[in-house]
Chain A
Amino acid sequence: MSRNASFARKVAYIAAIALLLLPIAAISQPATLNPGRAEHFAGGKLSQLRAQHNLAQAELGEIDPASETMKLSTLGLRGVAANILWGWANYYKKIEDWDKLEMTVNQIIRLQPNFVEVWDFQAHNLSYNVSVEFDDYRMRYQWVKKGIDFLILGSHYNRDEPGILRQVGWFVGQKIGRADEHMQFRRLFRDDKDFHQTFRDNGIEVDNGLGPDRKPDNWLVSKLWYEKAVNAHVAYGKPIRGTTPLLFYSGAPISIMNSAAAMNKDGYFFENAVLAWQQAKDSWLRYGERELPTSVGFNIRLNEKEPVDQRIKDAKEELARLCPSAEEEIRQDKLNRLSAEKKAVMQTPAAERSSEQYALAYEAEQELKVLPRDFLGRAQRPEDRPRVRHIVDQIEQDETTSRQLEINRRIVNFEYWRMRADSELTDEAPQAHSDEYEGNKLAASGENLAKARSLYEAAWKLYAVIFEKYPELMDNAEAQDVIDSISHYRDVLGQLDEPFPADFPLWTLMDKHYKGQQIRDQVKLLQGRDATEQKKPEDTKKDDKPAETKPDAN
């Protein structure tokens, strides 16, 4: 090839390179710092897109030189390096090399700082999986703290990420407050000044979460973290990740509930506990007022189930008034339209039905249900038909709302906690808890068993009053604590050589729990069947009736 042609080609290449540099520079110009100030420059297209989708490291969180260096030094093999490190982390966990596990996990998050699930996973790994490998509860506590520290570090790299903040709240609340070693963990947490300082350094004022002993309570501090998470979502518009809004917003109020419940276990009753339960109740009511989206496309407020159900009831009554005897007619029509097979099954007693007949019977029952829509066109007066239509639409809408409320309430045990807060604010509750607590203490120490017995018996009477007002409380697992105390009461009676009282006021409670049933069976075995038979009021009245006198012959 000639020299001229070669030269011309070189010139053309250089020119093309120079021309290409222009769009490249335009696309990849970096943004200047200090956004919001007049001289801020948004940069090229790539920079603008990063800012728009919150992908730039500065928007996401702290820029860590170590993390950036490690990412660059892997030369595009970041995924491979992270994969290898994950394998090493699992290996170190297997051979119980905790120092190296911790170091490896720290290297992993430097390579993947904005992969939020990595923070979630490894924090959970440290606090839940690794902590239980230690026998000493103090060591377990250290590793629970490590997981929490890890999440807090993750919140630096992922600023205002509600999921991470919520997880911190969960770990501080549930892991410390519900573990088998919760008493020890809570005690350590209260005195852990360095850990409190870590929270303060991260915007959580632990002095706003003090317990009755004027030291930070883990539940109340977890509430602060939940509130920070809510604030991140509400104020900064960050999406809720990894959970539904129903559960997301329930964190703080549940923490207050748990804090109040924990106070009783720690031996605080009366003013402190009553105040705590009042705050819990208020917070639960506020939670119930919050508008929450459902999976079917509309929003609900958990507090509004009762008004909705009342509306349905009133609407049905009005419907019955506007369409008298329509319900019976509709039912009869539907019965007539049933197939002969289904009619025959409906007439068969339930106990004698086969499994296929049960299925048929169920289908028949569904077909026989009188729906609001069936009332359309059955108004007694023609001018009432628009009204009937309106009522039917309203009932259907309300029933859908009521179903969603029922489902969502059950998820967060809404009614139980509301009832629990109400029951704890009765006059009987603080005294009942106090008597039970003191009775347990005396029983454990073995001193003054007679006093323990009388305290227990006073507590049972008060609990009986509470459970009569709020019988659903007996079904809940929280009532298990009372069963445990009844077990101690039985042991005290055993040591005092006294029988278990036949008129024990909490037999109904005991029948609802396995351990209670066991105690009842044991008492029955030792003392005879009569010892566990609770006399009914009618039986008592019968016995009290005076004997009939014979009429005079005259």
Chain B
Amino acid sequence: MALERGIPNFLHWLLGSPTSSLLVPASWGFLFGTVAICLLLFLIVPFVCFVILSLQYGPSEAFYYVARSIFTAVTEDLPRFSSRRTFAVARLAVQEAIRNKILVGFGIFLLLLLIAGMFLDTGSRDPVYNPARVYLSFVLTATNYLVLLMALLLSAFSLPNDVKNRTIYTVVTKPIRASEIVLGRTLGFAAVGTAMLLAMGIISYFFVTWSLSHDHAIDAASVNDETGRNGSLVRRYGETTIDQHHRHTFEVDANGKGRTNTIRGHWHEVVRTEDGKYRVGPPQGHLIARAPIYGQLIIFDRDGKQGKGINVGNEWEYRGYIEGGTPGVQTKAHAVWTFSGITADRYKNGLPLELNLRVFRTFKGEIERGVLGELVIRNPNPDAPVKRSGPIVFESKEFVADRRLIPVELNSEIGGAAGAGKVDLFKDLVDGGQVQVELRCVEPAQYFGVAEPDIYLRPGDAPFELNFAKAYLSIWLQMLLVTGFGVTFSTFLSGPVALMASISAIVLGFFGQFVRDIATGTAYGGGPIESFIRIITQQNVMTDMEINKILLTIIKGCDGILMHLLQAATYILPDYTQFDTTEFVASGYNIFGSLVGQQLVMAAVYFTAVSIAGYFFLKTREIAA
């Protein structure tokens, strides 16, 4: 799984990098950025309100109005906030949601699951193809979109409908505060969404496990025996029957126990019973949650200098490539990962490495064999008496996770704690809990492609069910945000307009990077006016616009203003892509704790901010108008 944003570090994300600069907002860190934006809004928003009210009531009246709003919020509404009233409103919101036939959304979800088989084409014969990924992507994406849509519709129309139907008077005439109305509605709709999400999650889990379950039998005609020199049986091997568009090869030992190979992300246990029959177990290994321990990568070029690696012509620059050749003679190119937290207690049997390399050949070479590489375990301390182990040569594999256990006792030219010609991993090569893994390609004119997450330690896996639940937590946080924004917009906008505003917030949240690329000119095509003209005149995005130069200047100017406003909005609105953890679950990787922490903090901050904004909007609104 590619981590294009890099491996998340919660403190780094929260507080910014040590080298952050005040002049580069992107490096500030979420905390500083939030404080800065809040301060800015705290200054700008009251000022804007003051200006608008001044036009209506005059400056002194406007000042009084704004000051009173802020004062009463702090001195009256906040200390007298009642959770009892809030939950009462929440209960009403739940009843309203059920009355509005919210369960239709749940029905649509069930219908989608029922007919999913028609659309999810998992008939691929590719042995590396993983249907679990297809099903998991489908259920998570379908749930995500449905829940967000439901939250949107519920939250955007609730208050405006109450105002239109005048039922709001039955609420506001009671001793209830605006904050309790806003929070109550939000929590009520969130509770409905939570219940539906819970139900969808459980059904999705069983749908996925049921869809992936299958069994094979053993193709008796394919079974062969392998005997040793003394004629005794060593193993039996053969093929299974086809089920779900695939078959496995298998082998069992002399005791009749064995397993199949891994096809489509899973394998089966095979047992030969005493009566000579074979029993194939259920699929295993396809619903996993790897919990990788990542290291820090440094790439060195052919002269031994640090760099980004070579680009072999790929448009996607996620990976840098290191050149192959005799180490130190033909090339000094190599990649080094530094791992921390390495202790003998934690890694009793050695370092369980997993490699996900890419290979680039400049000539075919040995077609029947993978390109050879070597791993060297190094001591990070340059003054250590034993600096490195001997090379561990391996044959590269692409697009599969290549598991290699680095043993505790390694070969070495000079020898170490383990004796002559041997070194001990923990005693000789681990320094301060750190160890380095060096990767080289040994075949000249061939290359290995590497990125930081490509080599990691895999001491164990997290429970898949927990990972699945974390993905649903991410969806729940999104739902919470959408509900909050919907309710907030509905406090001062009509239903349809609030819906449009909420949708805009979601779209900007999902496509924020695209908007920023357009605004900064990284992406071609220009802003909204220019791209509209290009569409209707069928001009492509790469050529200059074929219109009058003055008009072009005006268009580009207007687009510039619009795009920069949108760009500013993308920094203020939540980035929904940060909440997307579908790929983690589908690819079988544990969702990082740091990522969950980021999502929780972001959701809490945005939820608080929109709730406060909603409170002020509702408070200052004239309901009877």
Contacts and interface: CB of A to CB of B under 8 A. Distances in A.
A309 interface: no
A142 B127 contact: yes
B85 interface: no
B275 interface: no
Nearest to B319: A96
Interface in B183-242: 242
B370 interface: yes
B129 A184 contact: no
A184 B125 contact: no
A95 B398 contact: no
Given A95-B318, A106-B121, A180-B364, A194 B242 contact: yes
A107 B121 CA distance: 9
A94 interface: yes
Contacts of A96: 2, 316, 358, 399
A149 to B, nearest CB: 7
A548 interface: no
A135 B398 contact: yes
Contact of B367 (A99, A103, A181, A194): A181
B126 A142 contact: yes
Interface string A155-190: 000000000000000000000000011001000000
Nearest to A102: B124
B396 interface: yes
Interface string B236-251: 0000001000010000
Contact of A95 (B2, B127, B133): B2
A374 B397 CA distance: 74
Contacts of B361: 135
A142 B125 contact: yes
Contacts of A142: 125-128
A142 to B, nearest CB: 5
Tell me what chain A mostly uses at the interface: helix, strand, loop, or mixed. helix
A146 B137 CA distance: 22
A96 B312 CA distance: 15
A106 B126 CA distance: 15
16 contacts: A66-B118, A66-B119, A94-B316, A96-B358, A98-B126, A102-B126, A102-B129, A135-B370, A135-B398, A137-B367, A142-B126, A142-B127, A143-B126, A146-B124, A146-B125, A181-B364
B359 interface: yes
Nearest to A97: B2
A522 interface: no
B368 interface: yes
A263 interface: no
A55 interface: no
A83 to B, nearest CB: 12
B399 A139 contact: yes
Contact of A94 (B119, B127, B315): B315
Contacts of B115: 69
Contacts of B133: 99
A66 B121 CA distance: 10
Contact of B134 (A65, A66, A99, A184): A99
B134 A146 contact: no
Interface in B508-536: none
A70 interface: yes
Contacts of A135: 359, 361, 370-371, 396, 398
Tell me what chain B mostly uses at the interface: helix, strand, loop, or mixed. loop
Contacts of B494: none
Contacts of B358: 96
A103 B133 CA distance: 11
Most chain A CB atoms below 10 A, which of B124, B134, B370: B124
A71 to B, nearest CB: 13
B596 to A, nearest CB: 24
A345 to B, nearest CB: 48
Interface in B24-68: none
Given A94-B315, A146-B124, A69 B118 contact: yes
A-B CB proximity, top 10 nearest: A66-B118, A135-B359, A106-B121, A135-B398, A142-B126, A94-B316, A94-B315, A181-B367, A137-B367, A180-B364
A482 B559 CA distance: 66
Given A103-B121, A142-B125, A184 B367 contact: yes
A350 to B, nearest CB: 45
Contact of A194 (B125, B130, B359): B125
A69 B368 CA distance: 45
A149 B125 contact: yes
Contacts of B126: 98, 102, 139, 142-143, 146
A179 to B, nearest CB: 10
Nearest to B117: A66
A139 B367 contact: no
A453 interface: no
Interface in A89-127: 94-96, 98-100, 102-103, 106-107, 110
A180 B315 CA distance: 24
Contacts of A103: 120-121, 134
A136 interface: yes
A420 B54 CA distance: 97
Contacts of A106: 121
B125 A145 contact: yes
Given A95-B316, A96-B316, A102-B129, A136 B121 contact: no
Interface in B387-407: 396-399
A146 B370 CA distance: 22
Contacts of A95: 2, 316, 318
Nearest to A107: B119
A372 B143 CA distance: 82
Interface string B358-379: 1101001001101100000000
A224 B315 CA distance: 39
A136 to B, nearest CB: 6
A514 interface: no
A88 B399 CA distance: 20
Given A65-B118, A69-B118, A103-B121, A137 B368 contact: yes
Contacts of B399: 96, 98, 134, 139
A139 B364 contact: no
A372 B370 CA distance: 67
Given A96-B399, A98-B129, A146-B124, 4 more contacts: A99-B134, A102-B126, A146-B125, A194-B242
A178 to B, nearest CB: 14
Nearest to A67: B118
Contacts of B2: 95-96
Interface string B568-596: 00000000000000000000000000000
B249 to A, nearest CB: 13
Nearest to A137: B367
A421 to B, nearest CB: 30
A139 B128 contact: yes
A69 B128 CA distance: 30
Interface in A8-29: none
A409 to B, nearest CB: 34
A400 B323 CA distance: 59
A180 B367 contact: yes
Contacts of B121: 103, 106
B61 to A, nearest CB: 51
A181 B137 CA distance: 35
A115 to B, nearest CB: 18
Contacts of A143: 126
B238 to A, nearest CB: 14
Nearest to B396: A135
Contacts of B247: 194
Contacts of A99: 129-130, 133-134
Given A102-B129, A106-B121, A194-B125, A134 B367 contact: no
A135 B372 CA distance: 12
A494 B125 CA distance: 48
A194 B243 CA distance: 12
Contacts of A136: 370, 397-398
A181 B367 CA distance: 7
B322 to A, nearest CB: 15
